[in-house]
Each structure stands twice: as C-alpha cells, then as structure tokens.
Structure 1
Amino acid sequence: MSGNEISEVAKGFTYLEGPRWHDGRLWFVDFYTCTVNAVNDDGSIEEIAVVDQQPSGLGWLPDGRMLIVSMKDRKILRRETDGSLVEHADISAHCSGHANDMVVAENGQAYVGEFGFDLMGGADHEFANVILVNTDGTSQVVASGLSFPNGMVITPGGKTLIINELFGNKITAFDIEADGTLGNKRDFANFGEIGDEPNVAKRIEAATIVPDGLALDAEGAVWIANTVNQKATRIVEGGKVLEEVNTAPDGIFAVALGGEDGKTLFLCAAPDWDEGARSKAREGRMLATTVDVPHAGRP
C-alpha cells in the first residue's frame, strides 16, 4: 500500500484540517487563513466561509445547514441558508483548551473534542473532554480524561463513537446512548499506556501511533492521520495495522474517505503542526490516493 500513487488535489494553503466528503465534493478548513473551502468539479477552490477565531471540525445538520467549530473562542457556528454565520453553541465552559474536531450525528447532535491545554504555547499535557452539543445549542461534557481527543467517527446505525487520543497512543470507542450521551468506554486500538507523563514531546516519543484525523471504512477499520510518523495508517479494531500510505517528508494531519465511490482517501499534508511556521508559509496541501474499501459511517 505504501507504493500507491498519490495525487495533489489542492496546494498553497497554511495547514489543512477537517476534510469531509459531502454533497458530491470535498470540504476542508485552512487554519491560518481562517477559511472553510470546497473543491469544485473543475478542481477550483471555493471559499465558503471565514471564521476569524480559526475553524476546525465541520458537519451538517439534517436540514443541510453546516456547523463549524470556531476553535479559539470555543464556539460552534452555524452557516445559514443565506451564507451568514450565527452562534449555534458556546462550549467555552466545558473547554480548558481550544475547541477542536467534531462529528455530527444523523439527528444533528454534535460531538466536539478540545485540546485540554495550551499546546501551541508549550504547556504541559492535561487530559481533556468530549462535549455533546444538542440541536438547540445546549451542551454538556459526555466524556473526560482523554488525551487530546481529536478525529471522531460514528459507526453506521449511530451506536458507537470512535475517537483518536492524539497523545494517548490509542483509539477509544464509546457506546452512544439513546439520548446521545456516551457509555461503555473501551479500547478500539491501544498501543501502550503512556500514563500521566506531562511532557508532550516525551509522550510522542513513547508512542507507536500519533493519531490525528480519522475515517471509517465499510469493513469497520479506520484510517488515521499518523501525524509525525509521516503516513496514513489503516487499523482494525484490536490494533492490527492493515495498510499504510507513506507521505514523507510531509506529515499527515487529517484524513477523509470520499469520492463518488467512497474509495478516495484524502490526506491533509504539511511539514509539521507548528503554529508559527505554518501560519507564515503556504506549504499545506491536500493529497489523495485510491484505496480498496469504501467509506462508512459519519462524517
């Protein structure tokens, strides 16, 4: 798999995140231009929205309106049918770091991760929350004690939420209860506990995987953006690595499955995740390769 042909979908951005295949095209955010974008059929890029406090996760309500995580002010914005952005939810009371990635369930409830600490400021690692945002904008913490909860997917049928723990060396699963809250936490894939180590660099050094973005396929395996390891990795529940796509010298920081047949793996590539370096350069790219097993679940 590491020899698969990789094509370039888009380039000239700062740091791409939140890729989603929706309504027949690819959507993504660019952190440091603060834009939400979509790729048109002719390959041109359409700017959909500007989120001044830095956009992250994307999703859609049942009526088609888009939700966008606004990272630095820890809010969820809603894009109305006229293109305007309004506040959908303020989750700042539940966050001790930036709001981050998001997955929206079929019924419009959204699950949002948060940093837990000031990563870009060099603070020590702290465990973080997952927040449930209801369709009326009310919110609550539904999981805590996760190591930088990041990429999230919901399995077909809406019964399980799978979450990357970026600095935890593992991928975690929860049962989704009837009211949207989370129960029965378990390992989807655990490559070794890192414990309470406060130094982020030491946590990364101790890890086998550093999982950022997440995509689910029709065989129940997940693709992760294996960030500093400069690859995308396909993992089955239990932790067996099935396939890898190597992208060195670039790291991969988010992934999505899409395309008309669901078999295009989109890869958000950049040299690193350093805020200072990425915000000053235009080295962020969207890559793509073809895989054998199509997309499943949400997003």
Structure 2
Amino acid sequence: MKLHTPTGFVTGHQFLEGLRWHDGALWASDFFAGTVLTFAPDGDAATVATVPGAPSGLGFLPDGTPLVVSQADATVQRIGTDGTLSTYADFSAIAGGPGNDLLVTPDGHAYVGNFGFAVGSEDPRPTALAHVDPQGTVRRVEGEVLFPNGMALTPDGRLLLAETFLHRITAYDRAPDGTLSSPEVWAQLPEAFMPDGIALDADGGVWFGNALTTGDDAGFYRVVEGGELTDTVPVAGAQAVACAFGGEDLDTLYMSCNATTLEEFVQGRSTGAIATASVGRRGTPA
C-alpha cells in the first residue's frame, strides 16, 4: 500500500464533518460548534451560518445555493446569502435517527442519510436513505442500509454509499428521475475498516476515512472497485472522518481529523482539525 504523509492545515475546531470544495474554498460543518465554515486556501476561516440543530452534510444546488443537513430535526436547510436558514426538505418521517451526510448531484437531486439510531444509547439498526428531487419532494429510497455515511457520484452516473457498520461501499444505479435501484457491493472492506466520508478520484478510486478508531488503522485509505486497498494517509490520535479533493486543480486531499472517544462524542466533546496530503491524483467535482 502506498503511504502518504499528512500536513496540518487548520486546528482549533471541535468535530468537523461534511467537507466539500466549492467556489475556491473548503466548506465544513462543525457538529458541536453548530457552525458551517469556509476555509480559504491559506486556512483563514469564516462562519457562513449557525445551525441550532447541529450541521452535518453539505451540498450545493445547480445555482450554487448551499444546503446543509440539520441533524436534530432531520431536515435539509437552505443557507441564504446572509446566513439565514430556511427549510428545503424535511426527511424526519424517513430518518431513524439524526440526519447525517448529504450528496447533491449536478442535476439538483439530493440524497440524505441518517444514523438510524441514537448513538451511545441504542444498538445499531437499519434505516433508509432519503431522496429529495429538484422540486423538493422527499421519497424513501427502497431497501435498508446500515449507518449510511459518505456518498459520491461516479462519472457513469452510479451513486456510491459508505455503509460504515457493514464495512463496505455500496453502488446504486441511478435513473434519469434520480431514483436509486439495484444496490450491489462495490468494495467489501476488512472488519477493521469502517468507512465514513468519501471522495472519488479521477482514476476511479474512493478515498474514505476509517471512522471510530484512533488506533493503528486510523487514517484515510483509497480503495478500488472489488475491495483492493491501494493508498493510505495515516492519522495519529484522531478519528479519520471526512475527506474532499480541493485546490485549483482538485489535486489536494483535505481530511477532517477529530480527536474524541465514543463517550466524549455522546457528551459533545471533541477536538477537530483538518490536514492535507498530496496523493498524486486529482479528484472529481463533488
């Protein structure tokens, strides 16, 4: 496996999630601070919005309007130019737990995950993805998933989903109306690997954070279809949560690294940072 060395980018945050590169800046949600942030290439941070329900996944409509998942009430919020929020979609009837990651496609369809259970007080149980069409209609994606997390869209139109507790990346066919169907295992990972946020590179590999561990396997990994692990960026003493390619040429991998334990996470305590790595590949627009 090819080894890459991380470089510090920013520190001093809490639990950073939902990384996206958009319009020359890195966007991130800070769960516990309740803020949506942007970072300039030099690391300078700005607060875009405050989300009382705790922000998670981020995405952008075709006109550039940012969307953010509000965890507590399982809604997708539209962020106005002045930072005000307005409800874009309510998927609480589908969610079995707090809202989680988000993917918005170039044609304006949004896909939203949720935990499926209360972390720290309930056992994991299956849930379902929500599909929000460009008119704002919310539908349940057929089939069950277990702790759905990061998502990405392949150049041939398939949706890739990280199912953290099943140690795998699942692929869906996607119809012109945005309907997902025919799920199949794209990459089955060893049990030591629990994929969280994902990013797709231009060579067809998926980079993922190995969540829920700060041990020897903590870090970001690249996997190709079929399950072969080809690259790694180790992260010492922190959970590898989300990643995104950014920079002018999409050739820098940004990685959110959060130092916390399950007990601390449930209590809302974490120390968050973002690192970067040059991994010799370019990303695809997310």
Instruction: Report the AA paired with residue 183 of structure 1.
Output: S
Q: Does 1:253 align with 2:241?
A: yes
- Aligned residue number for residue 80 of structure 2: 80
Contact 1:12/1:282 (CA < 8 Å) preserved in 2? no
- Aligned residue number for residue 181 of structure 2: 183
- Aligned residue number for residue 161 of structure 2: 163
Instruction: Report the AA paired with residue 72 of structure 1.
Output: A
Contact 1:21/1:258 (CA < 8 Å) preserved in 2? yes
Contact 2:32/2:269 (CA < 8 Å) preserved in 1? no
How do 1:135-284 and structure 2 match up within 5 A?
A: 135-157=134-156, 159-191=157-189, 207-227=191-211, 228=213, 229-272=217-260, 274=262, 276-277=264-265, 281=269, 283-284=271-272
**Matches of 2:267 and 2:11, distance apart in 1:** 14
CA change 1:279–1:49 in 2 (3 A) is: farther
Contact 1:19/1:255 (CA < 8 Å) preserved in 2? yes
Contact 1:14/1:279 (CA < 8 Å) preserved in 2? no
| TM-aligned CA deviation for residue 3 of structure 1 | 4.8
Q: Using structure 1 for the length normalisation, give the TM-score.
A: 0.89
| TM-aligned CA deviation for residue 282 of structure 1 | 5.6
**Matches of 1:125 and 1:92, distance apart in 2:** 18
Q: Deviations for 1:188-220, whole angstroms, at most 9, x for unmatched residues?
A: 10137xxxxxxxxxxxxxx23100010000011
Q: Does 1:67 align with 2:67?
A: yes
**Matches of 2:28 and 2:226, distance apart in 1:** 30
Shifted more, 99-108 versus 258-267: the winner is 258-267
- Aligned residue number for residue 31 of structure 1: 31
Q: Which runs of no fewer than 5 residues in structure 1 stay unpaired?
A: 193-206
CA change 1:120–1:232 in 2 (3 A) is: same
How do 1:5-20 and structure 2 match up within 5 A?
A: 5-20=5-20
- Aligned residue number for residue 107 of structure 1: 107
| TM-aligned CA deviation for residue 255 of structure 1 | 1.0
Aligned to 2:119, the other structure's residue is in SS state coil
Q: Percent identity?
A: 38
Q: Which runs of no fewer than 5 residues in structure 2 stay unpaired?
A: none
**Matches of 1:102 and 1:292, distance apart in 2:** 27
CA change 1:285–1:2 in 2 (3 A) is: farther
CA change 1:238–1:60 in 2 (3 A) is: same
| TM-aligned CA deviation for residue 273 of structure 1 | 5.2
Q: Deviations for 1:242-296, whole angstroms, at most 9, x for unmatched residues?
A: 1111112222011111111212111111223536358665621011111111001
Q: Using structure 2 for the length normalisation, give the TM-score.
A: 0.93
Aligned to 2:256, the other structure's residue is in SS state strand
| TM-aligned CA deviation for residue 72 of structure 1 | 0.8
